[in-house]
Each structure stands twice: as structure tokens, then as C-alpha cells.
Amino acid sequence: MRDLPKTIDADVVIEIDRILNDRSKTAPVPVHQLAEMIRTRIVTSLSAPSIEELIVEMASLRGMVMLFDLPDVPSNVVALSDRRPR
């Protein structure tokens, strides 16, 4: 892993590492969901996109599959199950 900039919170990196180590290698890593979970567990000044970037980097180094799930989206986004058949 690369050297982290001084603005990175070591507690966040340790929490991401712990979570990724506990996850199955076959289940996809839900990037946005994990970032939100970390933000609720740890008091940090890092933004959600910064945490997501760390998760992506750390998961990719482990060769883990990632799920880039959408956060809670406004009503103008239609879920696949809501689409009408052609």
C-alpha cells in the first residue's frame, strides 16, 4: 500500500482494514454502504468520497470484488424493478 497523506485518518484506515479482513472474498464489497457505516462508527473529518476512495484502493489491493451501490437517490432515478417491460 502506498504511503498515506497526512490528511488521512489512521483510525479510518484501520477500520477499513478490519472490515475487509472480516469479509468473505467472494461477496462483493458495498463501497458506499461501508463508507457510511465507517462514518457512523468513527469520528473523522474525512468526507464520504475520501473514505470510499480508501475502500476502493484497499479492496482492489486484496483483489476483492466491489459493488458501487447508489446512495439514497432522489425520486428521478428509476430502479430496475420499476421499469415497464417493452
Inside any domain, residue 9: yes
Q: From CA 79, how far away is CA 4, in angstroms rounded?
A: 37
- How many domains does one find in the chain? 1
pLDDT of 9-34, one tens digit each?
A: 889 999 999 999 988 877 888 999 89
Inside any domain, residue 82: no
Inside any domain, residue 40: yes
Inside any domain, residue 32: yes
Our separate counts of H helices and E strands in the chain read 3, 2
pLDDT of 30-61, one tens digit each?
A: 999 899 899 999 998 888 888 999 999 999 99
Inside any domain, residue 86: no
Inside any domain, residue 68: no
Residue 40 lies in domain: 1-62
Inside any domain, residue 46: yes
Of 27, 18, 15, which is closest to residue 65 (Cα–Cα)? 27
